[in-house]
Amino acid sequence: MSKKMPVKLNDEQIGIILDGKSPFKPSEYKFVYFDGFKRNRVVWVKQILAKHSVNMRNVGNIAWVNDSRIELCVNSKEVEKVTEAMKLMKGVTLNSTYSPINTPSELEAVRKRVAWMASNENKNKPAQRMGRMVCKWKKEDKEYFINYFLCSQDEEVPTSSLALLINKLRRRRQVHNKNWRRTTTG
C-alpha cells in the first residue's frame, strides 16, 4: 500500500488555514444537457461513459428531462471530458441553451430529479451539497441558477456574482435556522 505524499502548502494557503478555512477550492458540479439520447436505464449510460474513460465519481446524477434529453450533473473540472465522450455517440448533441427552470413546474421537476443527490444516502459530498442548494432554490433567482449550475461553454461565472449568490444563500440559511430555533424552543 502506498503512502500519500503530504500536501505542500504555500504562505497564502497557510494564512487561509490560520483563518479557519480550507486552502482548497471545493468541487463544484454543473448540469449538462444532451439531446438525441433516448430514455434508457441509467446503469447503461454509466457503462457507456465508463467505456469512454469517464470516471463515474465525477458524475453526480443522471436523469432524463424527456424521452430524448438527458441531464448529467458533472464535476465542473470534468465537463469537457464528459462532453467529448457524449459527442462521440452517434446522434447525441450538447444542448448548451436549455434552461431547466423557465417555469415553477420545471423548477419542481429539477428538484425531484436531484432529490437523491441531496439525501444522506449520497456519499459524494460535493454533489450532495449541490443537490441541497438546488432543492432550496427560489424561482426569482433564475439568473444566478443559470450562472452557477448550468454548464456554459463560453463563459465563466463572474466571481462577484458567485459571491453574491453564496451570501444570499447563507442569509436564507441563517433566517431559516433562526425561525427553526424559535419554533423548537418557544
In a domain, 52, yes or no: yes
Q: Is the pLDDT of residue 141 over 90?
A: no
In a domain, 183, yes or no: no
In a domain, 146, yes or no: yes
Specify the number of domains making up the chain: 1
The closest of 32, 56, 46, 60 to 130, measured between CA atoms, is 60
Higher-pLDDT residue of 116, 93: 93
Q: Is the pLDDT of residue 1 over 70?
A: no
pLDDT of residue 12: 86
pLDDT of residue 155: 41
CA distances from 186 to 14, 176, 179 (A): 43, 15, 10
Q: Is the pLDDT of residue 147 over 70?
A: yes
Q: Is the pLDDT of residue 159 over 70?
A: no
In a domain, 177, yes or no: no
Give me the count of residues in the chain. 186
In a domain, 100, yes or no: yes
In a domain, 162, yes or no: no
**Domain extent at residue 100:** 26-151
Q: Is the pLDDT of residue 88 over 90?
A: no
- What's 80's domain CATH number? 3.30.70.2280
What is the rounded average pLDDT of the residues 55-72? 90
What is the rounded average pLDDT of the residues 73-102? 87
In a domain, 9, yes or no: no
Sheet containing strand 69-75, edge to edge, reads 59-66, 69-75, 29-35, 93-94
